[in-house]
Amino acid sequence: MTIHREGRKLLFWMLIILAAINFGLNRWIPEQDTILNVVLLLSVVLYLIVLQFFRSPYIKLPNDEKLVFAPADGKVVVIEETLEEEYLNERRKQVSIFMSPINVHVNRSPIAGIVEYFKYHPGKYLVAWHPKSSFENERTTMVIKNPNGVKILVRQIAGALARRIKWYVKEGTPLAQGGEFGFIKFGSRVDIFLPLDAEVLVSIDEKTKGGRTPIARLK
């Protein structure tokens, strides 16, 4: 388990600020033991909460061209057939995974392949489970094409709390299956659009682990 690069600067400055607050209070009101202890406890708890947001566990990368792996830790909240209109312009099976603040926030490639399309969209910050969040919220859209020509679309979606989407790819970037392609600070949602003939292997409310839980099998 390591600390993700997206959190290292924030955690460093947060540690400095919280230490300064506690040091200052000890100098200004040294006799107020109850207040000092409460502030210290709250500082530790707050720091640990933010620290766990940025944990990045080591995983063994999968390697199975027939399986599609979860792009994120979280809970399956949508499984439905829908029309993907941004790039693929065809009907697809959509699987959506909600990332809560206590989940690992690393986003991983569901298949191995080349990034054929990538675009960032500014937008609103509706709650992640809102039906319109997929096309009105701040988001990124990425299409990965595997060596067999199968295309998978993955969409990072910001929510009411998560307002910092990070990505590390562009068109032409090669991705390993399970390889990191982005990060959403403090949770939110990831949508994945599968071919209609793909066999979905998860169910609603099932918990997933990014790069470790198979969510579909390709024909």
Could you write out the DSSP letters of every residue in 59-119?
-PPP--TTEEE-SSSEEEEEEEEEEETTTT-EEEEEEEEEE-TTS--EEE-SS-EEEEEEE
Query: Is residue 133 within 8 Å of residue 189, measured between CB atoms?
Result: yes
Q: Which residues make Cβ contacts (< 8 Å) with residue 194, sequence separation at least 6?
A: 68, 92, 93, 94, 95, 152, 200, 216
pLDDT above 70 (res 123)? no
Q: In this predicted structure, what is the pLDDT of residue 133?
A: 52
pTM, two decimals, is 0.82
Give the residue-averaged pLDDT of 28-57: 84
pLDDT band at 29; cut points 50, 70, 90? confident
What top-level class would CATH report for the domain 67-217? mainly beta
Instruction: Catalogue the active-site residues.
Output: 188
* Residue predicted with more confidence, 4 or 29: 29
Query: Is residue 14 within 8 Å of residue 47, measured between CB atoms?
Result: yes
* Residue predicted with more confidence, 178 or 102: 178
The sheet with strand 199-200 has its strands ordered as 67-69, 214-217, 199-200
Q: What is the pLDDT of residues 161-200, one digit of tens each?
A: 555 788 999 999 999 999 999 988 766 889 999 999 999 9
Domain boundaries, the chain: 2-56, 67-217
